[in-house]
Structure 1
Amino acid sequence: MTQLVLNIEDPKAAAALKKIISMMNGISISKPKRKTSYERACEDIDAGRITYCESVEDMFDKLNS
């Protein structure tokens, strides 16, 4: 199965394009798969967007600063 990804800025154009595509045989429109919280958390770890805390008090100190 071949997939084609389109990025369309104008919502009116997107609606018209969806209507045209839905009329074609053998072509379907699927919604993009949303990432789970776990997948987003793993991406944060890989990108280094994490904070280490020694204790609960340390965590609250970092949150308040």
Structure 2
Amino acid sequence: MTQLIVTIEDASLLPDLKKAIKMLRGVGNISVKKAETPLNENTLRAMRDVKEGHTIKCKSVEEYLEKVK
């Protein structure tokens, strides 16, 4: 089995594209998957920090607030 991945910017084209592709001989299945939103740089940095062990441990919210000032 071979897959063809088509990226479209205008989602309103999707129904017509699905109909057209279904008419092609040999097409067994059509599935639609929304593209994932890329993570912003702050989130990526936080994930790296956790992986590298750059975290803080606090016993209370008050202690946390003192450490992040």
With the length of structure 2 as denominator, give the TM-score of the two structures: 0.46
Compare CA radii of gyration and give the structure with the larger one: 2
**Bigger share in helix:** 1
With the length of structure 1 as denominator, give the TM-score of the two structures: 0.48
